[in-house]
Structure formats: structure tokens, C-alpha cells
Structure 1
């Protein structure tokens, strides 16, 4: 039997991302975000919810571009710190020792130690209560070679991304694959249709 739970921001799993921007004075900044995900295929877009009080929101509003970095489990302490500290009064990169790198594609830095960095340009900004929903069009993806499989594309088992449980306020890592998309469920279909 299921029990009723008061509505809260609950979805499993939440990705853990680092949203990187430049401030108006050109200082690199980043924040941890878990209210995010892919929201469109054509053009490829990421949605991310950011509180209005965050320096990152001010930076995106000012510059219109941001990098989405996927931190590996080995950066859990640094990633958590990027969500605790404010970039208004300190340089989080100096504090953690992580390396901001200027993008060749957009006006935003990425984090060298993160295996994946996704360059985005803000397409839509939508106020929703405590957060602004930002839709960013993916312009470019940078991937460490050792984060890619033999097929040359990023491999989640090599990246080891962090996941977040918002109710228990706990980080997790991925487990083992449990099925192949668009084929595991084919035994239930009489005819095959493209998704």
C-alpha cells in the first residue's frame, strides 16, 4: 500500500551539475544545481532551475551563456562546496583548487577536472516561484578522452557522475546497467515503431 506524501521537489534521480559563468567583472563562478535535465532534442536543450538570489542567475541574465559541467564522484566535496558557498564574495575556484578554463565557443568557463562540459546559450528564462527556469540550447560538448568508450562517445560508467536525493540530502553514484533502451521492452510490442 502506498502512503501520501506532502508535495515536495521529488524526482529520482536528480543529476548533479556545476553551472559555470563569468560575473560582470569577468570573474569565473560556478554553482551546484540538481533541478535540471534534457528538455528538447531538436534543438538539443538543457533546462535548469536556479534561485533568483544566486550569483549564477545574475551572471546568466547579464551574459546569456553558461557551461554545464558534469562532476565525477571523486569531486563530491568540491561539488558540495560549490552549492554551499556564494560567488558574490569569494572565488570558489581558489577555495577548492579546481581549474576554470575559458571556452572557445561561449563567454563562460568550464571546469577542467570535470569530464564533460556542455556549452549553452540561454533561449528562454521563465520565473516559476522560487526559481527561474532557464532553457539553454546546447552549442558544443567537450568530453575527456578517458571518459569516452571505444565507440568514442561519453560512457556513464567511466564518468561516474553524481546523483542527488533531495529528501535525504545525500549524493549517490550510478549503479550497474539494468537494460538497453529501445530494445529491453520490445517483447511487449507486436510491431516496431520509431519513438
Structure 2
């Protein structure tokens, strides 16, 4: 059986990536393949419980990192790997690049520690493609100000978001064969066109 593909969506809070998930699922399903749409942190019953802690409880940045990878291990074992093994496309709203951006880039956890956890928890599993929805920090903050009740990450200041954005762009520069940067500082319709064009190449 042909192995599936693993596609991840990344970006700062307020970048608008989650808005495009239904369309991406539809585009992939049009190819006649099974599509599993999931998210991190979360994706499993235990992962969703950990998500609630991670988004709303104050904790040390390294504790946060360890909980992220605990949720990720469950996610990989129970959702991602079984789906890929049966030939499905897996679409995940965030994955390990988010940990590098949030916990390493914005919160100062050493990248070597995250790399160790990545190797232990994931083995050889890496995304086949990552769509990074990029917007200037001021746009992200404007969008969040008019959105729902913010979680603890969404309440962070502009300096945090600038570190976050730069960490994401660094990840993209280091992995150009995987990352596709989407200029999300446009109307939803224009971003949809960019997303469609990118998905068509995968």
C-alpha cells in the first residue's frame, strides 16, 4: 500500500491558518484519498486534556515543552502513524515546528533540548510539507484583539510575537524543501488562491 502524506500548517496566532483547513481537506479529498484532519496540541482524548492545561495554565517553559511532546507522542502513535500507514493524507494544525517557534524561539528553551525530544518522540517522522502562514506582528495582534477570548499565548506582548515570527521564518529558511511560506497579510480570497496553488504542487 502506498504510504500517505503528512502536511502541517504553521503560523502565529492570528495568522489565519485554521480558516483554510476545510478548503484544504476538500482539495485533498478530491484526489480520492482519505484525509485525516487533526491538531496540536490535541488530536487524542489525552492530547485534548493536555491542550487545556497548556493553553490556560501558567507553567515553566520546559514543563510546557515536555507536555507538548507527551501529547505529541500520543498523537503520533494513535492518529498520525496509523493514518499514514493506511495511505491517508494527514493534515495537522501545528506540529513540532510550533514547539521550536513558541517554546524555543519565544520562550528560550534550548533548541538542543527540543531536538532530543523530537528524535525520541518522532523517530524519523517529519512533515512532507509545511504551509507557514506569515503575517506582520501588528496584523496578528489586530486580528486577535477582535477575536474570541484569548488563551495565554494569545495574550502575550508584541515582543513575544516578534520572536515567534522570526523563529518560524528561521525554521522555514533551514528547511526550504519542506516549507511553503504563504503571505497571509491579504484578503481571505487572495490567501485561498495561494493555498490552492501550493496544495496543487504537493
* Greater RCO, 1 or 2 (C-alpha within 8 Å, sep 6+): 2
More strand by share: 1
Instruction: Give the TM-score band, short-chain normalised.
Output: under 0.3
Q: Which has the larger radius of gyration?
A: 1
After TM superposition, the score normalised by the length of structure 2 is: 0.24
The structure with the greater share of residues assigned to helix is 2
